[in-house]
Amino acid sequence: EVQLVESGGGLVQPGRSLKLSCAASGFTFSSFPMAWVRQAPKKGLEWVASISSGGGGTYYPDSVKGRFTISRDNAKSTLYLQMDSLRSEDTASYYCARRGYAGAHWFAYWGQGTLVTVSS
């Protein structure tokens, strides 16, 4: 069974940093591209980062480019999201998602999320 468990969320002041983790199990982590998707309170879903299976390719929307960094440790089956220069608009639940397969840009499996609150 595919499992994705996010951690690392919490309350952080504007301008500070936070690093999220996603522990993956139930599949060969190193074979699949991964992503982070967020959902602000009472809002819809927003894709925030993607990474290729080997980690060499990363992609971001303009809203987080230059502030967020996605990475992975295939030996540990863990996905990360380093979030710097946080803003109040980054307040959201952050979900780890596994893509269908290399070249499949849909999100086949999701975690249950970790809440990040950016506030002074």
Partner 1 sequence: DVQMTQSPSYLAASPGESVSISCKASKSISNNLAWYQEKPGKANKLLIHSGSTLQSGTPSRFSGSGSGTDFTLTIRSLEFEDFAVYYCQQYNEYPWTFGGGTKLELK
Q: How many residues bind partner 1 (CB under 8 A)?
A: 22
Candidate residues 7, 27, 69, 110; the one interacting with partner 1 per rule CB under 8 A: 110
In DSSP terms, 37 is beta-bridged to 47, 95
CB 96 within 8 A of CB 111: yes
CB nearer partner 1, residue 80 or residue 107: 107
For CA atoms 102, 108, 114, 117, give the dihedral sign: positive
4 touches partner 1 by CB under 8 A = yes
95 touches partner 1 by CB under 8 A = yes
Strand order in the sheet with 78-83: 3-7, 18-25, 78-83, 68-73
Positions in 29-58 near partner 1 (CB under 8 A): 44-47, 50
User: Quick one: tokens of 2?
Assistant: 């595919």
CA 81 to chain centre: 5
94 touches partner 1 by CB under 8 A = no
27 touches partner 1 by CB under 8 A = no
Residues that bind partner 1 (CB under 8 A): 4, 44-47, 50, 59-62, 95, 97, 100, 104-112
